[in-house]
Structures are given as structure tokens and as C-alpha cells.
Amino acid sequence: MELKRVVVTGLGALTPIGNSLDSFWENLINGVSGANIITRFDAEKFKSKFACEIKNYDPKDFFDRKEVRKLDLYAQFALIAVEEAMQDSMLDLKAIDLDKAGVIWGSGIGGLGTFLHEIEGFVEGNYTPRYSPFFIPKMIANIASGHISMKYSFRGPNFTTVSACASSTNALIDATNYIRLGKANVFITGGSEASINEAGIGGFNSMQAISKRNDEYKSASRPFDETRDGFVMGEGAGALIFEELEHAKRRGAKIYAEVAGGGMSADAYHLTAPHPDGIGAINVMNAALEDADLKPEDIDYINVHGTSTPLGDVAEIKAIQKVFGEYAYKLNISSSKSMTGHLLGAAGAIEAIASIMATIKNICPPTINCKKLDSQLDQKLNYTLNKAEKREVRAAISNTFGFGGHNASVIFKKFKD
């Protein structure tokens, strides 16, 4: 069968460097760090006392008191970003087939804050079981997609992808394939995460995954730098409206870009570390290029996973050089996480938006905080260090890799009718 084409018709962002699409993009290309001292809890006793939090956030600005009781922070973030994307798309809910409109959302952890709060209450209450009736429906990782579908009456396919830091990229790929196969006309897709709490910071501290540069927190997320010591935790949400091309054209929709294709793979190697030769990353980028029917030379920009971990950054660059060969030296490569921190399951959605905007604006966002490249990395590659670069971006790849060896890459290209 002939696969249908998929386009992006709406975007929404709630991030540590901007609470809207426009503010996120402006701060991204201007190299603004989202890191600061943690305000959500007293982190004084923790090894890492900083993170990339959403700024100036008050749930009462978006939800009434009853709604807040029912919504974990990760679901709040999801609904806010989706509302911006829906407004941006100008979808008329009375004019589309809601049975063929779905939601595929991504979250690596889900309601960790709710789980922590409820267990704390159990212990503080002398182990008396007085749990909230909303405990389970607030906590479960799929509930954000449920809330989204109920708000907009989308009755098509509805589920959540959970693959650690690759979760929302997997969601984008699944949404693409459902539309390609004619199973739906429209999808709300993306991801959200809210794990900046005692359990999240403590857990990642204990596994030596996050930076402990408390005296240099603004520049602690430093992908490719010789002195990097781990990622910086982020939070937020990214939402995208995917539409079948003819459906979008019939309603006169604004089209941001075309979803060219995506790939998925597994390292099958280690619980948390990437394969040192980047085998899974090589496979996933090759799979994405094949799915998109593109050659390496068709890509201009790669938004790398680039977490600022000693092992991950090196493995990913090795993989890029293997896939792109000599053409790798003509690419712009950068890591948004140097500014946003690592949004875990929401990272793929936010970085997909960054990649789409790069194709529209012909600007590659920078990698900030890198003062001296790791000697293990090829010094001649263009890591877009510290300053955005203008260039034509015909197509961009967004890479995401997660604990457990989950890899997902998605490609966006300029829309041509």
C-alpha cells in the first residue's frame, strides 16, 4: 500500500528556558541556561542541589483547585503544552472526525511526585493507609494521554510509550506510522516529565548520573566538554500536532515541516551505559534514514542526545561518524540539553520541536558551556559551540537514547507539496 504523508501543524512547549514555543526558541538560539538552585524542595542534603526547573509556574494559573487535586505535575505540564499546540494548529474540533483523532504521549516515569507524596503520608501517618482516591490515576504513566483525549474528545488510538529517555520520540514515531497506515488523520503527540523531587534527584545521584557541580550550576550541563560529570535534571513538556497531509491541506492548515521518518533500535548491552562503539545509535540513525528514504548527505543538522555524560557523548559521536562518514564534517551538531537540561521522557518531544524550528528558521541552536572538547572526540566536527549558526537546514535528525538501551531517532524535513 502507498503510505500517507505526515506533516506537523501545531507546536507547544513548556520548558526550563521558556514557557511557550516562542520563548523556548528565542532562549534556545540565544544560548540561555535553564539551570538554577532547586526550589521544589530543600536539596541541601543532596549531592546535587540544582536542576532545570520550569520558571514562575503556578498551577492555579491553568487549573482550578479540583483539577489540581487530580493531576500530577507531569500531567499538568502535558495539558498546558498541548493546549498551546492545539491553539497553534487551529484545529476545529467540530469539523474533524474525532474517531480518527488520537493521542500518543511519552513519559519515562510519570507521576513520581504523586507516588512520593502518598508514601510520605503513609509513613508520617504511622503507617495508617489513608491514601488519596486519586493516588493511582494521578501516578500512572499513561494518564496524561487519557486526560488529553478527554479534554479534546479524541476517540482514536490512545496510549503512552515508556522507553526511558526515548519515550516521546517513540511516541512521535508511533503517531507517524498510525497516520501513514490510514488508522488516524490527526494525532496529539509528544511527552512530559516532572521528576525534580527528592526521589528523582536522590535516585539519579545514587547512580552517579547527574552533575554535582553545585558551584557552577549554570554551566554544569556541558556536553562534549572534557570536564563534564553528568547530566542536569530538567522537566516540562513538548506537544506536536501530526496530521495526514491531505487532511491538513483540506482545512488550510499551516504546515511547519514534514515527518520524513523514524527509526528504533536496542543496544542489548547494559542497564544504563551505551554500547561503547555506538552500535545501537548507528543502527537507529541508519533505520531512520532508510525509513525516510534519505541519504546521509540530505541531512544538515543533528540534535544529538548529548546528555553531558562521559560515556554517552563519546559513543554518540562515534556513531555519527560511522553513519555519515566524511560528510559528518559538513553537519551541524548540537545538544539542546546544554540549556534545557535533560527532560528524560519529554526530551525527545522538546528536541523534535528544536529540530523542526531549525528547518523553518535555518538556524542551528548552539551547544553551550563547552570550553574544551574532550580529547576522545574528533576536534574537527562542528559541535556548534556556544553560538547558534545560520545555514540552510533541509532536514534534521533528533536522537534520543534511554536507560535499558532504548534508541529512537526521528527525521523532519522542509515541507514541499
Query: What is the Cα–Cα distance from 377 to 317, expressed in whole angstroms?
Result: 7
Catalytic residue among 165, 364, 370, 406: 165
- Give me 250's grid cell: 483540506
Q: Which among 288, 307, 347, 335 has a CA at the least distance from the CA of 167?
A: 347
Query: What is the Cα–Cα distance from 69 to 135, expressed in whole angstroms?
Result: 10
Q: Which among 358, 250, 255, 267 has a CA at the least distance from the CA of 304?
A: 358
DSSP letter string, 118-168: HHHHHHHTTT-----TTHHHHHSTTHHHHHHHHHHT--S-EEEE-BTBTHH
* First-to-last C-alpha distance (Å) of the chain: 20
Query: Is 165 a residue of the active site?
Result: yes
Query: What is the Cα–Cα distance from 39 to 28, expressed in whole angstroms?
Result: 22
Query: What is the Cα–Cα distance from 114 to 277, expressed in whole angstroms?
Result: 38
Q: Which among 43, 41, 194 has a CA at the least distance from the CA of 112?
A: 194
Helix (H) and strand (E) counts for the chain?
13, 14
> Cα-atom radius of gyration of the chain, to the nearest Å?
20
Query: Is 305 a residue of the active site?
Result: yes
Q: How many residues does the chain have?
A: 417
DSSP letter string, 237-255: EEEEEEEEHHHHHHTT---
Catalytic residue among 342, 364, 370, 406: 342
HSE (CB half, 13 Å, CA atoms) of 319? 31
Catalytic residue among 117, 147, 247, 305: 305
Pick left, alpha or beta for residue 230 (phi over 0 → left; psi -120 to 50 → alpha; otherwise beta).
Answer: left
Catalytic machinery residues: 165, 305, 342
